[in-house]
A and B are shown apart, each in its own frame.
Chain A
Amino acid sequence: MTAYFHTHFRTIRSALRALRRNVMRSALTCLGIIIGVAAVIATMEIGQGSSAAIQRNITSMGANTVLVLPGAATNSGINWGAGSILTLTPYDCDAILRLCPAVKNACPIVRSRSAQVIYGNHNCNPGTIQGVTPAFLAIRDWEDMADGEAFTDREVRNASKVCLIGKTVADELFDQQSPVGKDIRINNVSLRVIGVLRAKGANMMGFDQDDLVLLPWTTVKYRLSGQSYGSAATISSASGASTSTINSLSALYPDTSLDLFPAVDALASVDRPQPVRFINVDQIMCEATSGAATGAAMQQITALLHQRHRVGGDDPDDFNLRDMGELTNMLTGTTKLMTNLLLSVAAISLLVGGVGIMNIMLVSVTERTREIGLRMAVGARAGDILRQFLVEATVLCLLGGILGIVLGRGSSILLRIFGHLPTQISVPAIIISVAVSAAVGVIFGYYPAWKASRLDPIEALRYE
């Protein structure tokens, strides 16, 4: 065993000696691999950085969001459409966040019917008025405010009379002045504007995303709506207590919802207990940990809600899940495209480097024909010559690979600093390029080495 290592050590040492004997040629040979590996690493790092940036952009458009909607009620064979029964509670939202590992963020959403928003003598009718939690801003990548600041979980708990307004609303109500600290009215509820959302522009459908007012969902539920959107259907679907029964915080007006059924007396409620549902929300918006994890998140949410809502095997779901299929496809498509692009660039650079190695090794074999003849004359077997040239090629490639990594990393760092390109260190690229450069050495070094080992010593010694 030691003799074996000794042989290899000797071979490597003699290869190094041979390479040192012609530094210029060795350096030129290396150059091919250096440039190849450096190109691989630099393009991989730039590509990965760009790919990550593109993915981040697509993700911020909502590629990894999953919407949980209440199910459809079917009454006398008539489907009332999604949201016609109220099955989602804020506790579902908490449970999803706590128990689904693929879900990073979850936020209950309570929508308000469209309403007039009034400030002084201005008014407007925003497209969206919805109650959310601060998690909503995180999910929509909307955390940095144009002005003021976002509301907090504490304000959600207190159903505080605060709101955030979109750029469009701010422009319509406030002209040039800062809206922060001003009070606006919706449905005669006075709300203080504490922040203005950063302008997002229209979404892919052309829907103005800035035409909205965001409030704590408790505020919408208990102060603004009096009852949640779609609670009329709740009443018709006879699912027991509606939100209106606990709407004790709605101080402005007494509860005006219709009492269609007589109050259940104590005896009746013992005889025929009704399911008591507390608070409901209109949607739950979830954010998967990544675009690729959307599927896993949907599975986990389905399983959890089956359990919580006691949906049996054959029963229809009392909720619907919706993901941004188009965006997700775009995301995976882009990722695949970028990966393939980078791989082909890398393959071409390394191939070019490898052909360079083979070229110089062939020249080297021709140039050293006499040396090979001499080595054979003093007793080198064909295998010895083959091994010597293979080891030389491999050593060259590995040296080139190491220098290439340094050069590639360096240039990618320089590009990031001076070119402001988003680069990302790619450990697989480093490992692969070293492995490939060694492999290139062996593969492209094999032919010249084989050619050298097949030389006839008599001819080789006579070669001029």
Chain B
Amino acid sequence: MTATQINSPSLRVRPAAKLDGLIRLSDVHKTYFLGEMDVPVLKGVTLAIDKGEMVSLTGASGSGKSTLMNILGCLDRPTSGSYLLDGQEVGDLDGDGRAMVRNKKIGFVFQSFNLLARTSALDNVLMPLSYTAKHLGDREAMGRAEAVLKLVGLADRMDHHPSQLSGGQQQRVAIARALVNKPPVLLADEPTGNLDSRTSEEILAMFQRLNEEEGITIIIVTHDRNVAQHTKRQILMRDGLIESGNYMSAS
């Protein structure tokens, strides 16, 4: 559409034909109905993200960034348009269906960690497993939780409560919790917003490592340009549309 998009270097690297990606939004609209006034927030977003990508989603406040993230995370449903996640149409699922998709396909990392207080790191990580459709045995669940905690480097802090952990450690527990169900997508909402710059670097390095070594697709929603620069692909939103960083726009 715009000159920047056409001239984007990634457009040349990535062929536009790759449509069987992990995430594929086509012409997604989201309109909030506030009384008699309709507030369109997303005005036809078309977006594709492939397996193994590390993407940042940026934009000024009011650009529809959070709304798009909610739809990507299956927390909300689009007013119109289609959303294919891992080959499954999730745009028209009901609440319970979306809950199951969230449980299996998406790991969430939040700005404020959202750990359960007075609960050990291990139990925090175990929590999502209690909502999986097919229950694991206690031993298997424990093994998995310990493995992901080891992966984020907290093998020696498993019994600590959130109040006994630093901010960076808490966020790493949150990342472990997001990973415990082995989701293909990790959705991080301002993951470094509550952290100092040194710890932020650590967390971002961890995301990069998870992306490269474990092949997990990572989407980081942020308003911080420094954070966005850590990702290979940066999607910029403005006024409910994607302004740059989209391969689909060429097709």
Contacts and interface: CB of A to CB of B under 8 A. Distances in A.
A17 B119 contact: yes
A371 B135 contact: no
Interface stretch (B9-17, B93-101, B145-153, B231-239): B93-101
Given A14-B130, A17-B119, A458-B76, A382 B96 contact: yes
Contacts of B116: 21, 371, 374
Interface stretch (A2-10, A83-91, A94-102, A432-440): A2-10
Interface string A94-137: 00000000000000000000000000000000000000000000
Size bracket of the B interface: 20 to 34
A376 B114 contact: no
Contacts of A370: 114
Given A21-B118, A21-B119, A458-B75, A375 B127 contact: yes
Contacts of A330: none
Nearest to A462: B66
B114 A461 contact: yes
Given A3-B135, A379-B99, A380-B131, A374 B75 contact: no
A10 B132 CA distance: 12
B168 interface: no
B135 A6 contact: yes
A378 interface: yes
B103 A379 contact: yes
Size bracket of the A interface: 20 to 34
A147 B162 CA distance: 81
Max count, chain B CB within 10 A of own CB: residue among A3, A370, A371, A380: A380
B108 interface: yes
B63 interface: no
B103 A383 contact: no
A148 interface: no
Contacts of A383: 96
Interface string A4-38: 00110010001001000110000000000000000
Per CB-CB distance, the 3 closest pairs between chain A and chain B, nearest first, are A379-B103, A378-B128, A379-B131
Interface of B: 70, 73, 75-76, 95-96, 99-100, 102-104, 108, 110, 114, 116-119, 123, 127-128, 130-132, 135, 177-178, 181
Given A375-B127, A382-B99, 15 more contacts: A6-B135, A21-B118, A21-B119, A371-B114, A374-B114, A374-B116, A377-B108, A378-B177, A378-B181, A379-B131, A381-B100, A384-B131, A458-B75, A461-B75, A461-B110
